[in-house]
Structure formats: structure tokens, C-alpha cells
């Protein structure tokens, strides 16, 4: 299936074309329609199968098409286990956001807290970060998630392996309202920890699993 067949905003098709991306991968084909219907989603497929665009495109589409719940709060929060992964997701997000006017912010542990707080004061619609530092900004009231529309957990299995369950629950609570959509991506879904956190953070999720024999 070609990206043009997903009824995506035209501003999203141009940056895909520039990168030579035309045909959706299997996980993108299965996950994007579910996410674009506003449903909660648990998705797994192997590394390198294109999970980043499978969540970035529906998130961008939602922000471009729908009116914000709040003018000031972040609309989409994307959590990744490591700084390196956050940077990779962020650079793909920047390519997609380039022609849209959407504001983005990257919030990593180990970098200057006050600079990040200043960047968050500019009310970015998308925030990408690692759970520890995002949790710190929440605790210091530098980040507000009452109007958050989408919470995206990338590599949820690794975030839990690294001990981030408390931060995920803290973030979940800060963004706890019935209109929130939650997407969970993982390389595997057979861990008890992943299923436990999914039970706490997601509402009647659709499961999409590619290449695990189920």
C-alpha cells in the first residue's frame, strides 16, 4: 500500500517523497489505520521494520486535522528508552514537521534542564524524550500534559528493562483523561511487564503483531 492511500495530509506526503519513501511496510499498513481511527494500539514487529513512521504519521495527521484540547499543553508525547533513540525519532519528526508549522521539542537526560524548560515554555505540540527527564519536568511543573491527546511509548520493552515503569505511571497520571489515545510499540509483546503496563495505560487496545508467528 502506497502512503498516498492513507488519506494523509498532503504536507506529510512531500517529506516522505523527498526521502524516497512510497510503499508502507507491513507494520505501517496494519498499525496506521488503527491509530488514525483514534484507537489505542499495541504493536510489535522486528527492529528495522519501520515502526517510527507507523506512529509519527498518525500523530502528525491528528495534530494537523483536529483542534487542540488545550492551546498550551503538549498534544503528543513520545517516549523512548535512550537518548540515541529519542534523537532518531526526533530527526524523523523534524523532517515531517518542516512544512507544517508544528513546533517540536527534544527533552533528554544529561542535558541542561533550564534550557529545556525554556524550550517547553514555547508550547511545542510535540515533545520527544526519555522518561526520566520528562518526569523531572513534570515534577517541576515545566511540562503540562492535561491536554495531551496522544501518548506514544516507543520500545516499551526496553523502557521497562531500564526501570522506567514508575515514570511511565507518573506520566500516565499527569495525562489522565478520557480523550487520550495511547500507542505502545515494542519489539516483543511476550513479556509480563509490557502486558502489565499496557493494562494500566491503554484502553481496550487493538493488537497488531507482525512476524512473531501469531
Which parts of the chain are beta strand (E)? 41-44, 76-79, 104-107, 126-129, 150-153, 181-186, 206-209
Of 21, 64, 68, 69, the one binding ligand ADP by CB under 6 A: 21
- The dihedral region occupied by 126, where left means phi > 0, alpha psi between -120 and 50, and beta the remainder, is beta
Min dist. Cβ of residue 44 to ligand ADP (A): 9
Count of residues interacting with ligand ADP (CB under 6 A): 13
The answer to whether 146 touches 177, Cβ cutoff 8 Å, is: yes
Three-class DSSP labels, 49-66: CCHHHHHHHHHHHHHHHC
Min dist. Cβ of residue 207 to Mg ion (A): 18
Min dist. Cβ of residue 93 to ligand ADP (A): 12
207: β partners: 42
Verify binding: residue 30, ligand ADP, rule CB under 6 A: no
Of 27, 51, 104, 186, the one binding Mg ion by CB under 5 A: 51
Verify binding: residue 53, ligand ADP, rule CB under 6 A: yes
The binding site for ligand ADP (CB under 6 A) comprises: 21, 23-25, 28, 45, 47-53
Amino acid at each position: 500500500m502506497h502512503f498516498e492511500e492513507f488519506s494523509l495530509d498532503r504536507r506529510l506526503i512531500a517529506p516522505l517523497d523527498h526521502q524516497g519513501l512510497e510503499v508502507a511496510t507491513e507494520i505501517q499498513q496494519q498499525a496506521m489505520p488503527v491509530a488514525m481511527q483514534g484507537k489505542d494500539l499495541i504493536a510489535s514487529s522486528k527492529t528495522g521494520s519501520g515502526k517510527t513512521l507507523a506512529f509519527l504519521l498518525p500523530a502528525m495527521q491528528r495534530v494537523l486535522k483536529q483542534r487542540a484540547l488545550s492551546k498550551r499543553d503538549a498534544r503528543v508525547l513520545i517516549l523512548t528508552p535512550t537518548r540515541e533513540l529519542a534523537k532518531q525519532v526526533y530527526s524523523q519528526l523534524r523532517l515531517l514537521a518542516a512544512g507544517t508549522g508544528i513546533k517540536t521539542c527534544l527533552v533528554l537526560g544529561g542535558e541542561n534542564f533550564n534550557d529545556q524548560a525554556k524550550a517547553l515554555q514555547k508550547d511545542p505540540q510535540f515533545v520527544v524524550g526519555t522518561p526520566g527527564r520528562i518526569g523531572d519536568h513534570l515534577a517541576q511543573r515545566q511540562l503540562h500534559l492535561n491536554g495531551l491527546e496522544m501518548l506514544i511509548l516507543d520500545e516499551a520493552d526496553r523502557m521497562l528493562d531500564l526501570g522506567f515503569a514508575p515514570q511511565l505511571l507518573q506520566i500516565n497520571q499527569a495525562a489522565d483523561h478520557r480523550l487520550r489515545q495511547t500507542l505502545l510499540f515494542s519489539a516483543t509483546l511476550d513479556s509480563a511487564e509490557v502486558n502489565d503496563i499496557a493494562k494500566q495505560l491503554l484502553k481496550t487496545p487493538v493488537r497488531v503483531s507482525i512476524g512473531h508467528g501469531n
